[in-house]
Structure 1
Amino acid sequence: MLRYALCLLIGIGLTQYIPAALSLYAGCIAGAGLLYICIQFFKPSRHYKTYLQVCIVLVCICAGMIRQACWKSSTSPVVKQLRITSFPQKNSFQIQFEASVLNTPAFQFFDAETFLIVCTDTGAAIAYGDVFTTAAPASLIEERQLPYEFDYKAYLFGNGIRRKIELCAIHTESDHTRARHLYAWIRQSRKQFKKATSLIFTTAESKGLAESLLLGYREELDKNTKDAFLKSGVSHLLAVSGMHTALLYQAVFVFFIPFGQSQKHRFIFLATALVILAYFTLLSGCSASVLRASLMCGMFAIAYAFRKRGSGLNTLGTSMVIMLWFSPYQAWNIGFQLSVLAVIGILTLHQYLSAHIQPQKKVYRYLVESVSITICAQITTLPVILYHFQSFPLYFIPANMLLIPISTVALFASMFSIFLVGLGIHANWIFRSTQWLIELFQQVAASISMLPNSSVAPISFSFWEAMIVLVVVGYYLVYPFKGNKKIMLLFTSLCLFWSGFRIYQEYRQEQTTRKLFISNGKRSLYLIQNGLMAQAYTQVPVKPADKAHLQAYFHITELSEVSLNEKAMGLTDRNTACTLGWVYRKNCSTFPQSPHILFSYKESDSIRYQAKNYHSLKVKRLVPIY
């Protein structure tokens, strides 16, 4: 089933980058393939198995193309009735949340468009699940203007959001649908959960970390904690993922073991497991990793209830097919990519290593299993991590071996403490122990992140390099440590060619000398690069995240900042090619007239200083200075 899921994924990916008219041809090919499959059942040929496999693959690819084309072509009415499908995020000047269209045709139920709503009325009384109507036009999400910036449009596209609506005010309506009870239940559960954590944890840091560990709520998680877990290589513990879902499923399974294995108890276990998994998925926000894990655990529960043995790869493939068919945009979701690749690594490479390395002692077996799972998951997710995050944690093995057991104990301790609060029992010593575990969890991650060279950054990794590495890793997963000599020689040559190309890039980079002006308002900077080192003249300090992105994009190993003098109100740089003028304050008169390139907030400055080429600082752009 996994191969068909991958074919469906290929079809969805192809449709995103080819004209929509080709989906018609894909439908014709899919129809021909289905007709051939039907014929083979009645008149099998000599090589019908091979032809059948090829036709099934083509049908899956074409089905993915058609499904993605249908999702892209879905439209919304002018007057839209929307339901808030995410918890509103409020700041000092706006409220931001996601909302899905309700008044869509029945056959487009799963293709109902989701919008990013931006409301400037910060006093609006809105909540998760509320319904409102608007006729405001929707606009496309803006592209990133600077190449090193976070691609917010791609991030939203991975969540199924292509357009946004800007509103001045929101007036909610009464909801008479049956779904209102479900949304009210989720709101009340979230409220009670936050109330319980406030009673258990006495500090804001431990409360925010516990909420992130349990249900992925990061509203109260401070930035230093996020950076510490990212540098340690265990940031997946802060996001509710498949590990949390699997632990919850195992807890339910262990709870039902004493009741026996009769068919009646198996069906009771099935109903209980499905209800708990569905409730946990909804409460945690239906993230891609949790949804994938819940589907897999649900299928394992069904197999257990009917006394069947399930295959991990087939179960993973089935969950991928379900998710991609109903939500084809999940193919661009980072959480979906990391979750699927990590499970593939565990179910293939880890299974191979476990079969060939079997220590006799339980302690050694536990250590080998822990190291093997960590390394296998890291190997398969490495291309995606390098491409999206441009960093690699060096101490991910000891960090995972230390923090996963601590997080598991802290997770169950927190769940038990919340259960006691729900019963009205205030066991202070249990609450203090739970808080100590959460604080230990945070301190260990912070200590590992403070080790020298805890994270290798920046790492420049292109899309095609990620694809090449994924193909090589995929081959070794299918044929671990074996294969014919021609294929092995091909992949070895490919690796050598890639290594040589990267070495050549580094050599060229060492010889690079250039000057760039990055126009971005008060965050503008003038970059002078000499090989792998660069100086940045800035009006305000560069944020650490932007600095890392700058280094990764421009291949800079050392970037030093030079703060501009506020009294000068401007910057001038002269060379033989051209003269740069940068007016970052009003009425600047410190540099000479007639610059070749002038950056300023006011267009009238181009006349005042007789500039040959004018650029507004209000517009984001990257301008080379020769």
Structure 2
Amino acid sequence: MIANHKGEIPVVVLLLPFILGISIGFNCNSGRYLISLAVGFTSLLILFLLLNFYYTHFKIYKKRWLGGITIHLLLLLAGWIATINNNELNNARHFSKLPAQRLLLRINSEPQLKNGLIRFTVSVIAGINQKQPTPASGTLMITIKDSSALQLTYGDELLIPGKYAPIDPPFNPAEFNYKKYLAHQNIYYQEFLYPGQYRIIQSNTGNPFIAKALALRRKMVEKIKRQLHDPNAIAVASTLILGYKADLSEDVLQAYSKTGTIHVLSVSGAHVAIIWALLAFMLRFLNRLKHGRVIKTVIIIPIIWYYAMLTGFSPAVCRAAVMISTVIIGKTYNRYINNLNILAVSAFILLLYNPLLITDVGFQLSYLAVAGLVVLQPVVYAWFTFDNKWADKIWLPCSVSIAAQVITFPLSAFYFHQFPVYFLFSNLFIGIPTAVIIYSGIFYLVLPPIPYVSAGLAWILEKTILLMNHVLAWVEHLPFASINKIWLTTTEYLLLYAIIICVFYFLYDRKAWLLRTGIVLIFLLAASISIKRYRSYTTNSIAFFNLRKNTGIVFKNGDHAVVLSNLADTDKNYNYSIKPYLDSCKINDVILYKPDQELRSAFLRKQGNLIQFRNQSIAIINKDYTDTASAVKLKTGYLYITGNPKIPLAIINKNHEYHTIIIDATNSPKTVQLVVDQARALHANYVVLKRNKSFLAASN
């Protein structure tokens, strides 16, 4: 299984305190800690060296734990220091700390076009103030709405205005935290540009190896487009072989996600292993030479790393490249290395280079999947024994799929909130098509144009992709194809992993205490989920959403909800901002109404501009509002101001008595400020949704 003794996996044991140090660094990442940490690290390092120099003199062998504690503390501090050093905001020359009218920057990623916008990241070189440049550093996200920006490439230097802004946090409950996602890539600011707001200063100033790799990838994508005709086939081929994801459609992504095969669209260890197998087969004749193994190693390893660079250096590819390089070297010199140690070495190298990689979902899933194959797959494979060799050959990949799915399920459910029911069939099916696609695609891209041969390879590539897409789309639409709305808390996520460890360790070691512990943990998990579900079904609330230019109010009554919005349920903004909240609340029945529609249900009534939800009422004030000059004030809980109404608040107060004013995001900044000033003058409670978090009001 894992190891009979921790001495067999020393790198795994040493990796744990390093990861703990990185975790501490995320929560305590201020640069002011660096001096204290450096002093502590240096002191411990001196102590460790003294313990080794005077090992016999001080009889350290009687206190072996002292050396262990020292090296673990050293690694913990190393992880903490590496995380702080990696945080660009701790650099005194970060562009956000320097006044600048203009910024000089270099494009450090491949610009991609999506929804009419060209987006890429840049490294800031200098800030320019009064025509005087000052060296600066930091990463900035750039978005350009200009078709001519398609000519921009990696390594171009641009001059832009210094009008960047912080990344917005999530404004609505359960919404994807894009700010946190970018912060884990050291990106804290962004800037939107229009035609004429940027100027190219120089070209081709980036790393020449990366520039050539990206240029080669663009040529290969163009070559794929010349012979393949179906857009989805082109997108899948570009993604699966080259890691180029810009052309993938939402329908294709959804089909692969709901069938548990999304990992195929991420160039990962399996892809690198196929490349390795192909190279090893082609160069097997070198084994006959005296130094043939060494020559083969010298050829294969650079090719694997060039392929990793070609596909964008994703965490999964880097992990696979490091692992396979280590395995190749070990085989060359006939050295046996425990697979978990190889996995830990690759993780240590990558995290030392960039500690932020540990927050990458692809990094986490990749390492967990491989660890599951090493640790859990032998246990799963031992469940059944077949005398028939073909049955055994079928069961072997089944055990691989089960082990990988089990170990990654808690993490996948935590991030993606779904579980593919037919993952076993889907993963068994895609094995052969994936290999055919990679091999035919590589030969098609590498070989020069040959009549009939190139066309034949392109035909095989396209038809295989279309077949795979068709079967996965069919699986996606089978009854109960996926379990959705899985929203785990951090505690539940950790409990799931504890249960998996206990169950599989029990199946391996048959110790009763593991089974008892697993049962207790299952009970705790069931209790947590039950309490959460009970609270969700017994609470009622109103959620006023910040949808920028759109209206959104959700009335939740147990597991039923009415959504008042001008967005359709197929709109990407609806699925990005409203649907996650409904799913996290376990809503089973959703009815969507337009803001101007009349409605009546068991718990909600809307007539004109007045809404009654259980014991709460809302008066909608929009541009069509008229002064009724009523003798009796209408009592409401909330006054919802939307659509830039021009009527003064003092006149509205003659007709309404309310508790709180909600100023939604559809109002212009001028209207928002006007209403806020009036509300303050009248000492009225108010909530501004524009560039602020949504407002939730309980109603029981």
Say whether the fold is shared (TM-score over 0.5): yes
SS at match of 1:623: strand
Query: Contact (CA 8 Å) 1:535, 1:562: kept in 2 or not?
Result: yes
Consecutive unaligned residues in structure 2, runs of 5 or more: 1-10, 128-135, 599-605, 666-689
**1:553 corresponds to:** 584
Cα root mean square deviation, aligned: 3.1
**2:694 corresponds to:** 621
SS at match of 2:291: helix
Q: Which amino acid aligns with 1:586?
A: K
Could you tell me how far 1:589 is from its partner in structure 2? 4.8
Take 1:67 and 1:188, find their aligned partners in 2: how far apart are those partners? 33
Could you tell me how far 1:382 is from its partner in structure 2? 1.3
Query: Contact (CA 8 Å) 1:538, 1:563: kept in 2 or not?
Result: yes
Deviates more, 1:237-246 or 1:465-474: 465-474
Query: Contact (CA 8 Å) 1:296, 1:316: kept in 2 or not?
Result: yes
SS at match of 2:463: helix
1:306-345 alignment runs, 5 A limit: 306-345=333-372
Correspondence for 1:4 among 11, 14, 27: 14
Distance 1:340 1:255, change over 3 A: same
Take 1:605 and 1:2, find their aligned partners in 2: how far apart are those partners? 67
Are 1:17 and 2:55 an aligned pair?
A: no
Distance 1:305 1:97, change over 3 A: same
Query: Contact (CA 8 Å) 1:569, 1:586: kept in 2 or not?
Result: no
Q: Which amino acid aligns with 2:105?
A: L
Distance 1:281 1:489, change over 3 A: same
Are 1:89 and 2:116 an aligned pair?
A: no
SS at match of 1:609: helix
Distance 1:335 1:364, change over 3 A: same
Q: Which amino acid aligns with 1:341?
A: L
Q: Which amino acid aligns with 2:611?
A: D
**1:538 corresponds to:** 565
Could you tell me how far 1:394 is from its partner in structure 2? 0.7
Q: Which amino acid aligns with 1:76?
A: H
Could you tell me how far 1:27 is from its partner in structure 2? 4.1
Take 1:205 and 1:68, find their aligned partners in 2: how far apart are those partners? 40
Distance 1:448 1:435, change over 3 A: same
Deviates more, 1:90-99 or 1:561-570: 561-570
Query: Contact (CA 8 Å) 1:606, 1:614: kept in 2 or not?
Result: no
**1:490-519 alpha-carbon deviations (Å, 9 max, x no partner):** 443233122112222222333223333324
Distance 1:560 1:344, change over 3 A: same
Distance 1:602 1:32, change over 3 A: same
Query: Contact (CA 8 Å) 1:420, 1:426: kept in 2 or not?
Result: no
Could you tell me how far 1:456 is from its partner in structure 2? 0.7
SS at match of 1:286: coil
Q: Which amino acid aligns with 1:171?
A: R
Query: Contact (CA 8 Å) 1:15, 1:23: kept in 2 or not?
Result: no
**1:248-296 alpha-carbon deviations (Å, 9 max, x no partner):** 1121122222332545222222222222222211121111111111111
Query: Contact (CA 8 Å) 1:12, 1:64: kept in 2 or not?
Result: yes
Deviates more, 1:563-572 or 1:393-402: 563-572
Take 1:277 and 1:310, find their aligned partners in 2: how far apart are those partners? 20
**2:551 corresponds to:** 524
Take 2:450 and 2:207, find their aligned partners in 1: how far apart are those partners? 27
Could you tell me how far 1:151 is from its partner in structure 2? 1.2
Take 1:234 and 1:601, find their aligned partners in 2: how far apart are those partners? 44
**1:444-499 alpha-carbon deviations (Å, 9 max, x no partner):** 11010010111111111112322332344456667764376556544432331221
**1:287-321 alpha-carbon deviations (Å, 9 max, x no partner):** 11111111111222222333322321111111111
**2:259 corresponds to:** 232
Q: Which amino acid aligns with 1:49?
A: R
Take 1:192 and 1:342, find their aligned partners in 2: how far apart are those partners? 33
Query: Contact (CA 8 Å) 2:380, 2:403: kept in 1 or not?
Result: no
Take 2:296 and 2:557, find their aligned partners in 1: how far apart are those partners? 65
Distance 1:530 1:574, change over 3 A: closer
Correspondence for 2:144 among 88, 109, 119: 119
Q: Which amino acid aligns with 1:598?
A: L
SS at match of 1:123: helix
Are 1:258 and 2:276 an aligned pair?
A: no
Query: Contact (CA 8 Å) 1:82, 1:131: kept in 2 or not?
Result: yes
Are 1:504 and 2:514 an aligned pair?
A: no
Correspondence for 1:99 among 115, 118, 122: 122
SS at match of 1:351: helix
Query: Contact (CA 8 Å) 2:624, 2:645: kept in 1 or not?
Result: no
Take 2:199 and 2:106, find their aligned partners in 1: how far apart are those partners? 12
Could you tell me how far 1:435 is from its partner in structure 2? 1.7
Could you tell me how far 1:573 is from its partner in structure 2? 1.0
Are 1:598 and 2:669 an aligned pair?
A: no
Take 1:84 and 1:405, find their aligned partners in 2: how far apart are those partners? 39
Q: Which amino acid aligns with 1:251?
A: L
**1:170 corresponds to:** 198
Could you tell me how far 1:330 is from its partner in structure 2? 0.7
Q: Which amino acid aligns with 2:374?
A: L
Deviates more, 1:350-359 or 1:493-502: 350-359
Query: Contact (CA 8 Å) 1:569, 1:588: kept in 2 or not?
Result: no
Distance 1:92 1:406, change over 3 A: closer
**1:213-232 alpha-carbon deviations (Å, 9 max, x no partner):** 21222222221111111111
Query: Contact (CA 8 Å) 2:623, 2:645: kept in 1 or not?
Result: no
Deviates more, 1:114-123 or 1:458-467: 114-123
1:66-465 alignment runs, 5 A limit: 66-72=81-87, 73-74=90-91, 75-76=93-94, 78=98, 81-90=104-113, 94-101=117-124, 113-124=138-149, 125-133=151-159, 136=162, 138-168=164-194, 169-174=197-202, 179=206, 181-260=208-287, 262-354=289-381, 359-422=386-449, 427-465=454-492
Distance 1:254 1:361, change over 3 A: farther
Q: Percent identity?
A: 20
Take 1:506 and 1:92, find their aligned partners in 2: how far apart are those partners? 38
Deviates more, 1:267-276 or 1:352-361: 352-361
Take 2:521 and 2:611, find their aligned partners in 1: how far apart are those partners? 45
The structure with the largest alpha-carbon Rg is 2
Query: Contact (CA 8 Å) 2:443, 2:457: kept in 1 or not?
Result: no
Could you tell me how far 1:47 is from its partner in structure 2? 4.5
Distance 1:312 1:578, change over 3 A: same
Query: Contact (CA 8 Å) 1:158, 1:331: kept in 2 or not?
Result: no
Deviates more, 1:66-75 or 1:482-491: 482-491
Aligned residues: 618
Query: Contact (CA 8 Å) 2:552, 2:566: kept in 1 or not?
Result: yes
SS at match of 1:410: helix
SS at match of 2:312: coil
Deviates more, 1:494-503 or 1:34-43: 34-43
Query: Contact (CA 8 Å) 1:100, 1:113: kept in 2 or not?
Result: yes
Take 2:71 and 2:258, find their aligned partners in 1: how far apart are those partners? 44
**2:623 corresponds to:** 586
Query: Contact (CA 8 Å) 1:196, 1:421: kept in 2 or not?
Result: no
Take 2:540 and 2:153, find their aligned partners in 1: how far apart are those partners? 53
Query: Contact (CA 8 Å) 1:148, 1:550: kept in 2 or not?
Result: yes
Query: Contact (CA 8 Å) 2:22, 2:79: kept in 1 or not?
Result: yes
**2:685 corresponds to:** none
Query: Could you tell me the TM-score, scaled by structure 1's length?
Result: 0.89
SS at match of 2:246: coil
**1:402-444 alpha-carbon deviations (Å, 9 max, x no partner):** 1122222122122222234556765434432322111101001
SS at match of 2:567: coil
